[in-house]
Structure 1
Amino acid sequence: MSATHPIIAVTGSSGAGTTSVMRTFEQIFRRESITAAFIEGDSFHRYDREGMKQKMAEAVAQGDTYFSHFGPDANLFEELDGLFRTYGECGRGKRRRYLHDEQEAAPYGQKPGTFTEWEDLPEPTDVLFYEGLHGAAAHGDINIWKHVDLLIGVVPVINLEWIQKLHRDRATRGYSTEAVADTILRRMHDYVHYICPQFSRTHINFQRVPVVDTSDPFIARFIPTPEESFLVIRFANPQGIDFPYLLSMLHDSFMSRSNTIVCPGGKMDLAMQLIFTPMILRLIERRKESLARRSTRSSLKLAEV
C-alpha cells in the first residue's frame, strides 16, 4: 500500500460484471478530475489466444484437465505483483493491452487475441486502477493483494455468473453451450483455489442475487435484470461507514448484518457512487499530504546544503 501512489483494484471472475464497475469508476475519476492509469487484467495472461489454445491442447494430452486462465500457470502473477509494487514506490510501471476483438485490434494493425507491446505508464497519474481476475490473488510468495489500497470484489451468485458467461460467450464469441460448459468445468479447480479466496481479502464485496429462477443456468433464456435482483454489499471493516446515510439514499434497502447492506439491484451504480466517491477522495487527499511532506523534506535538505 502507498499513500503517495494509491492502487484501486476490482476483481472478479469471467462474467462477473467487473467491466460495468470499471465504467462507474471512470465516471468518478472524470467528475473529480482524477488522472488514473488503467490496467486490464487480461493483459497479464501469459499466452495470447492461439498460444493458450496450444497450451490447453498440450495440457489435455498430458492428462491435465485443470489448466485455465484462472490459475497461475496461465498468468503473469509475478509481473503483476511487480507492477503494483513499483507503482506504489514511484508511480511508474509498464503495461500492455490484450486485443479482444477486431475493433480493439484495428488501430494496432494486429489480429484479435494478441497483445500490444509493453509500454510505460503515463505520467503523472493520481492512482492506478486495475480491473480483472486477480487483483487480490496470492500464490506461493506472491501476494498481489497486499499492494492494494482499495480492493473491491464483484461476485454474482454462481448460477447468475454462469448465465452471464453463457450469454456473452455465445453471443459475442460464437461458442456453443457445450463449449462454455466445458470451460466452466475445466476452470472449476482454479476457481476454487485462486478466484474464491480473493473475496476474503477484499475491502468491499458486491454480490448480485437474482430473485427469479436460475436453477439451471444452461437453459436460461434471459439474463436476470438488475431490477430482478438484490445487491448484497459487504464491508470487511465497517468502521467509519455511514450506514444511516447510505440507507436513506438507497431506498428500500436494509441491513442484513452489522457490516452488510442489501439494496435493490438497480441501484448498484448509485451505491457505488455513494460509497466509493468519498473513499477515493480520501486516497487523493492522503496522496496530496504525502507529496507535501516529501516536498517539505526536500526543501529542508536543500536549505541545509
Structure 2
Amino acid sequence: MQRRPKAILIGIAGDSGAGKSTFVGELRELIGSDRVMTISIDDYHSLDRRERNLIGVTALHPWKANNLGLLIDHVWQLKAGRTIQKPVYDHSTGTIAPPENVTPTDIILLEGLHILYLEKLREALDLKIYFDTDTRLRVRWKVRRDRETRGYTEEEVLAEIERRRTDVVRYIEPQKAWADLVIKYVPDDDRAPTEDNPEPIKVQIAERLRGPKRRLVKWLSLGSRFGLIEAVHYYENIVGEEMEVADIQGKTAPTSMNALMEMISDTAHLKEKMNERDYDPIRVTQFLVANMIMELAYGRQGIQGAWAN
C-alpha cells in the first residue's frame, strides 16, 4: 500500500469523564490498530499533581498547567509524518514520566481537554468533535474511573469536580463552538434498566451545517424514515449556530444496522466487524464516526481500496 504523505488528525475535546478515551479506544479497534494511533493530550500537562495542588491551579488551566505551545508544534510535526518525542503523564501517580518517541500512523486520534482550544491546533485537524456528555453521567463515570485507576477516593473526586467547575465553564465548554460534531450522551429516562443494559443511554449527534460536506445526521434521519433505526431528527441552536441534530435511542438490530451501513458507505471493512447481537446508541455512533474517519483518510473505498492501490 502507498501510504499518505500526511496523517489525518482527528481532535476530540470535552470535560474529564465525558467518555472520550473509551470512545477513542473503540474507534481505534474498529478502524485497525495498525493504522490508528491515539494520543491523550493530558501528556502535555506541564505540572504534576503535587505542583498543581501546591500553587492552586487545576489541570484545566490552558497555560498555567499545560504546555500547549509544545502540543501545537508536535501536532503539526505529526501531520507532516514526522516522529516526535512526546511527553508522558502518568495518571496513576500524578507525575510526569520520561518522554517516548512517537511515529505517526495514517490516522491520529487526539483526545483531551484542550485540543480545540487554540486556532493553531484547530487548523491542523481534519475533523473536530466535542463530547458534551450529560453532567449526571460525567460525574458518575469520573468517580468510577478515578477511584478505580487513579487512586482517588469518591470524596476526593467529588471535591475536585467542584473545584474545577469554574475552569470547565471558562476553558472547556467554549470549545464546543468550534466542533464539526457535538456528541452528547444522555441518560435515557424513558427506558428501564435491564440486566444486559443497566445504564440506558441515548446519544444526541449535532452536526454543523456550514463547512465541508460531511453529513452524518442526514443518514440517521433517512435511516429512521426507512425504519432501520430509532432516531429523532430536528434542528437546534447550539453555541449561537443552528445545527442539525439526531437523537439515537433504543437498540438497533443487526439486519437494520447492516442495511444502514450499506446505505451510508461502500466500505466493507466495518461490515466485517459487525458481529454483535444488537447495537446500542453509543455503539451505533462509534461505527458511524469510524466510517466518517475512514472516508476522510482513504475515500469511500475504505481500507480495502487503499490496500489495493
TM-score (norm 2): 0.70
Give the partner amino acid of 2:220. L
| 1:161-217: CA deviation from partner (whole Å, max 9, x where unpaired) | 12222233334445344322321222122111111011111111110111349xxxx
Q: Which of 277, 297, 306 lines up with 1:283 in the alignment? A: 297
Is residue 237 of structure 1 aligned with residue 209 of structure 2?
A: yes
Q: Which of 256, 271, 277 lines up with 2:285 in the alignment? A: 271
| 1:224-270: CA deviation from partner (whole Å, max 9, x where unpaired) | x6852221001123745264543427621120226111012732122
Is residue 55 of structure 1 aligned with residue 52 of structure 2?
A: yes
In structure 2, how many angstroms separate the alpha carbons of the residues matched to 1:205 and 1:3? Answer: 29
In structure 2, how many angstroms separate the alpha carbons of the residues matched to 1:34 and 1:180? Answer: 35
Is residue 84 of structure 1 aligned with residue 69 of structure 2?
A: no
Give the partner amino acid of 2:54. A
In structure 2, how many angstroms separate the alpha carbons of the residues matched to 1:256 and 1:226? Answer: 28
The structure-2 alpha-carbon separation of the partners of 1:193 and 1:205, relative to structure 1 and needing over 3 Å to count, comes to same
1:106 is matched with which residue?
none
2:124 is matched with which residue?
147
Bigger fraction of residues in helix = 1
| 1:91-134: CA deviation from partner (whole Å, max 9, x where unpaired) | 43232333333xxxxxxxxxx433332233225x2122212222
Residue 35 of structure 2 contacts residue 107 of structure 2 at CA under 8 Å; is this kept in 1?
yes
In structure 1, how many angstroms separate the alpha carbons of the residues matched to 2:55 and 2:217? Answer: 52
- Paired residues in the alignment total 249
In structure 2, how many angstroms separate the alpha carbons of the residues matched to 1:275 and 1:180? Answer: 31
The SS at the match of 2:80 is: helix
In structure 2, how many angstroms separate the alpha carbons of the residues matched to 1:128 and 1:256? Answer: 32
Is residue 131 of structure 1 aligned with residue 111 of structure 2?
A: yes
TM-score (norm 1): 0.71
Give the partner amino acid of 1:5. A
Residue 37 of structure 1 contacts residue 121 of structure 1 at CA under 8 Å; is this kept in 2?
no
Is residue 246 of structure 1 aligned with residue 226 of structure 2?
A: no
The structure-2 alpha-carbon separation of the partners of 1:157 and 1:187, relative to structure 1 and needing over 3 Å to count, comes to same
- Structure 2 unaligned residues grouped into runs of 5+: 191-196, 236-242, 251-279, 303-309
The structure-2 alpha-carbon separation of the partners of 1:56 and 1:100, relative to structure 1 and needing over 3 Å to count, comes to closer
In structure 1, how many angstroms separate the alpha carbons of the residues matched to 2:218 and 2:128? Answer: 23
Task: Give the share of equivalent positions with the same residue, in percent.
Answer: 24
Is residue 194 of structure 1 aligned with residue 181 of structure 2?
A: no
The structure-2 alpha-carbon separation of the partners of 1:167 and 1:240, relative to structure 1 and needing over 3 Å to count, comes to closer
Question: How far apart are 1:77 and its partner, in Å?
Answer: 0.9
Question: How far apart are 1:90 and its partner, in Å?
Answer: 4.2
Residue 151 of structure 1 contacts residue 203 of structure 1 at CA under 8 Å; is this kept in 2?
yes
The structure-2 alpha-carbon separation of the partners of 1:41 and 1:206, relative to structure 1 and needing over 3 Å to count, comes to same
Give the partner amino acid of 2:232. F
2:102 is matched with which residue?
121
Residues 159-238 of structure 1 aligned to structure 2 (within 5 Å): 159-212=136-189, 228-237=200-209
Bigger relative contact order, structure 1 or 2, given CA contacts below 8 A and separation 6+? 1
2:43 is matched with which residue?
43
Give the partner amino acid of 2:66. N
Residue 52 of structure 2 contacts residue 58 of structure 2 at CA under 8 Å; is this kept in 1?
no
1:255 is matched with which residue?
233
The SS at the match of 1:70 is: coil
Alpha-carbon RMSD across the aligned residues, in angstroms, is 3.0
The SS at the match of 1:207 is: strand
The higher radius of gyration belongs to: 1
In structure 2, how many angstroms separate the alpha carbons of the residues matched to 1:20 and 1:82? Answer: 26
- Structure 1 unaligned residues grouped into runs of 5+: 60-66, 102-111, 214-224, 289-305
